[in-house]
A and B are shown apart, each in its own frame.
Chain A
């Protein structure tokens, strides 16, 4: 049964990893603005070519 100590140690390490990830995410300001990134991801960097094809279709 002593093996359970190692398993629990491992599970705690994984959990602590997630906790650190959470703290890092707060620290890097990810909870400061929860709206803008949702828009930003939809704004393509290079949309010109697509637009030209769209316009020519019209």
Chain B
């Protein structure tokens, strides 16, 4: 029997090629990343008297969760993060000048096929879109990683998701992954690795793949792999640091389950509050008035998402009682959106552009919801209290649907405009 991507990459990173799902290994990540949370990591290091890091060139620090700082507490966290960077002479420090960490990590060439990367954030699974094993860990574990450069891993079982057909108009990676979440449930991939296969993926943009890998964690997954192809290689050209070796699953790899989804049958989807796996086609949402619309986050703040927004908003206005917040995921995307005139279209329609960061998605700042308010969002979680008040409700959808809803003042399919 052959090997899955998870078995191969963790086998390679632990020097134990040939390990199988269920085994435990100690592996050495190629890079590790943290953001303001590095203040928490630093605290754990201090508690243990740790005064060195294993390799100051393998640690990346990006400030994205609270930038620019919305509170004294957040400003303090960032100050501690900068103290950490200075004290340990961290080479790859980007501060608040790059964007959302999971977009910036691939853009700056840290993420590449076959690598293992851990970060203090659950959405590190995003890197699977490039065939890279990315997964989230906590502060204490990151402290251990900073000290030793290694960490224990359980080799996960793998579920193969085979996507056939061709996505229709206004259908994005977001709709495919929401549809999968609806079928498999929020714990359908608990502690598992997902591998996306199938003919529908050839034409799926890297951005849409990143959305799907990003939300793999919403099904409980440890990794969400795509098989790296030309789209990945050309993206990494002139970006990637060092060399890399793409890793693919064997044709006879052992999968715990194989599920097939026909993209042709998937229409724009909406996850109803407060569960990511309570998913219906937008036509079945009913009459839901909204107070806020949001396009951004590590899930859907990329150029194709902003282009979708501009395509909908062109020649239209955001409903007068709705605020529409748009957050480009990185500086690079921000600049390109300016060049393409996307931001002007959004501003003319009455949208609000914010600094690239995590703000609105997790209710930190730049778009917090009041009790009783309703938001339609392109982000990843609609949990109670995720974007502000626990009495607010969040619907998740793709950027076309979010933008169309911002115009209509209620959740609609773009065809309804």
Q: Do A and B come from one complex?
A: no
Interface residues of B (CB under 8 A from A): none
